[in-house]
Every structure is written in structure tokens, then in C-alpha cells.
Amino acid sequence: MNVAWRWILIAFIACHNKVHGYQQFYMESSETYLTYISGTLPLIIGAPHGGTLKPADIPDRRHNGSSFVRDMYTAEIASSVAGIVANHYQQRPHLIMCNVHRSKVDPNRAVDVGADSDSGRDIWKQYHDYIKSSIVTVTEAHTYGLLVDIHGQTHSHEKVELGYLLEQPDLALPENSLNHAIRTRSSIQSLVSRYPYISPVEFVAGKKSFGMFLSSFASDVNVMPSPAFSTVGYNESFYSGGYVTETYYAKANQPGVDVIQIEIPKHLRLVTENRDKFTFTLAQAIIHMLDHHYVNRLKL
């Protein structure tokens, strides 16, 4: 049994007294095209690009300019993080994973780019239905929640990239202008609107940021944005957030979920020892984030 499924099993055992739906989405074949584990925590974990299945009855995507490369080990990282978080709180987060290879369907693109066939569109739609129903559940129970969308990249700077819909020029703005961008255009604008007396940049690159939590649990992991790397270098590639991030973040002063796209560099995914260590670090940072900004223990 690999590490990921061992954690899932631990999560199920730990939460046996709070049983919630475990759904898998089947098509014509017997293989599972999507995994959805519903939860009770104000946390949704998504992994849209970790799938390996290449069913012959789903035509390959051909959209010009699209990436068809799988984000290796992101499904394993997402499911392991879900297990660690469930073990910590004795309650589960929502976990949504696309098990079909990105060459067939891409849930982190608009549907007309992410799927080229009816069967591909069915999977795309079901993935997003799971996200939408998870957001409804989180909002009804907790008012606010966090959606982390887990990805992998191969950029040469080897930093973890956190996407808040802020581009490289945004992060280089003077503080007042950057704060305005965070309040009005970022995917955590609901979060910062709940703390009107705290400078919004604190939540992106300061002491209250996910980048701070992530780097504080592992000094050898570089994260941008974070206090150590508050801006993105002009020659550095950077993903600021894709379709999932753009689609599901709550607006300022509104209930719903904040969204962070997490892009994990190659060396933290492909080397087993690094991956196991980073998975634990990521889970601890998410727990810290939940404790600081989302979890009301009276409701757990």
C-alpha cells in the first residue's frame, strides 16, 4: 500500500464516527475517472492534473497552445495531505481529484479548452460539480473556507509558487497599490476583507501569509510570494492562478472560499524523500492556515 492510500485509510479509520460520502465517478470502463471524498472541514483540496488514465474512448485534446503534461505526483500529494489534515482534526477535508490524464481532459481550463469530446466534457463537468457542491457545504457549515488547488511546475528557480491571481507586476507594486490589488482582484479578497485593520499584503507576503507558514515549517523550501521572496524576479516564470482559482474565489465581504493555487517544483515531487517531507510540510501549513483564518473550533 503506498503512502497516499495509507493516509486515506488512516483518515477513514480516524473519522469512522463521522461518516460522509465517498463518491467515485465511473464511465463505461471499470476505472475511476474522478475521486471525490466529501468532508466537514472548511477545506477543499483539488488536484486536477495528477491523473494517469488514458481511456481509449475519450479522444485526445487537440486545442492549440494547450499543455497536455501531467503534474506528476500531485494526486499522491493531495490525497496524503488530505489524510494528514483529517488525522489532525478527526474530520475530513473535501478532496477532488481528476484521475484521467491531462491529454484527455483538463479541469483547470474553461470547458471549451479543457475538453474536446462529449465524454471529456462529462468528466470536466462532474469535476466542477464536485467543487461547487463542496463550496456550498463549506459555506453552509462554516461561512468561510479555503480551496487549495495543487499543481506541479518545472521552472528553473525551483520555488513553490502561490497563485492569488496576482501577476509579477502586481507583486512589484508599492504597498498601497498592491494592497488595493489584493482587496479588489485577488483570490483571497474575502479573507482580507474580514481583517480591515490589517494590511492586506500581510496575507500575501507577510506574517499571516500561507507563504510564511509554508516556509516556516521547512527552511529549505523557497516560496514566492512569502516574506523571503515577496516579489517575482523579471526573469522568473510564475503561475498566478488558473481557471479553478479564477472561478471559485469569494468576493470581498462575501461568504465562500478563498482560493490559493499551489505550484510545486519538480525536486519536491519527483524525489520520494523530498516529496514525503514536503507533503508533511504542506499539510502543517494548511492546518496553520485553517487554525488562523477558518476553523471555528466550537463548530468542529
Task: Give the binding site for Zn ion (CB under 5 A).
Answer: 49, 71, 151
> What's the min distance (Å) between Cβ of 297 and Zn ion?
33
Please identify, using beta-carbon distances, which residue of 102 and 208 lies nearer to Zn ion. 102
Q: Which is nearer to Zn ion, 151 or 208 (CB)?
A: 151
Distance, first Cα to last Cα, the chain: 30
- The neighbour count for residue 136, using CB atoms within 10 Å, is 11
Choose between 78 and 201: whose C-beta lies nearer to Zn ion: 78
Return the residue nearest Zn ion (CB atom).
151
Single-letter amino acid, residue 178: L
**Residue among 213 and 243 whose Cβ is closer to Zn ion:** 243
Of 2, 72, 70, 68, nearest in space to 266 by CA: 72
Q: How far is the CB of 103 from Zn ion (least distance, A)?
A: 13
Residue pair 148/293 in contact by the 8 Å Cβ criterion: no
Show the cell assigned to 108: 483547470
At closest approach, how far in Å is the CB of 71 from Zn ion? 4
CB atoms under 10 Å from CB of 140, counted, come to: 9
CB atoms near residue 84 (< 10 Å): 18
Q: 54 or 207: whose CB is closer to Zn ion?
A: 54
Residue from 153, 34, 8 nearest 99 by CA: 34
Residue 69 or 271: the one with the smaller Cβ distance to Zn ion is 69
Whole-number minimum distance, CB 115 to Zn ion, in Å? 16
Smallest distance, Zn ion to C-beta of residue 210, A? 18
Half-sphere exposure of 127 (CA within 13 A, CB side): 31
In the complex with Zn ion, the residue whose CB is nearer, 151 or 275, is 151
Cis-peptide into 225, omega within 30 deg? yes
- Closest approach of Cβ 98 to Zn ion, in Å? 10
Q: How far apart are CA 38 and CA 263, in angstroms?
A: 23
Helix (H, G, I), strand (E, B) or coil at 68: coil
d(CA 276, CA 76): 10
Closest separation in Å from C-beta 220 to Zn ion: 23
